[in-house]
Amino acid sequence: MVEIRVAGVDAERAHGLLHRLVELFNRSAVSWDATRNEVRIRSDWESRSVTRVIDAVESWLAAEGGGSAQLSVGDINYTIVDPRYRSSQPGKSA
């Protein structure tokens, strides 16, 4: 079992991310921590779970107007940036 955390989520936009994640995982596997402004996902440890979370966060960022979010898988941390922002940077390709 692994816990995946998505931080940097404000309460007003959390609903959209929670909805996307509940479509991928059991409702009981997804929770919102309002004190830390983060979404938590408990899943079996497999690369598909992490990939699905990354895809859901990128989709959510694009739909909610950009920004970034911090993704933590165990002790490893990543920053996920709105894919539209990444593709608009000079020297970057989509």
Q: For position 52, which CATH number holds?
A: 3.30.70
Q: What share of the chain is helix, strand, coil (3-state, %, to 5)?
A: 40, 30, 30
Within-domain flag for 61: yes
Within a domain: 93: no
* Residue 94 included in any domain: no
Please indicate, yes or no, if residue 44 is contained in any of the structural domains: yes
Strand pairing class (30-33; 76-81): unpaired
In a domain, 92, yes or no: no
Q: Model-level pTM?
A: 0.80
Going across the sheet that includes 68-73, the strands are: 30-33, 38-43, 2-7, 68-73, 76-81
How far CA 71 is from CA of 45, 48, 81, in Å, comes to 15, 15, 10
What's the domain range around 72? 2-87
Beta strands in 1-94 (DSSP E): 2-7, 30-33, 38-43, 68-73, 76-81
Dig out the tokens for 16 from the structure. Answer: 């959209």
* Segment 25-84, tens digit of pLDDT: 989 999 999 999 999 999 877 767 888 999 999 999 988 877 899 999 988 999 998 877
Residue 88 binned pLDDT confidence (cut-offs 50, 70, 90) = low
Q: Would residue 39 count as lying in a domain? A: yes
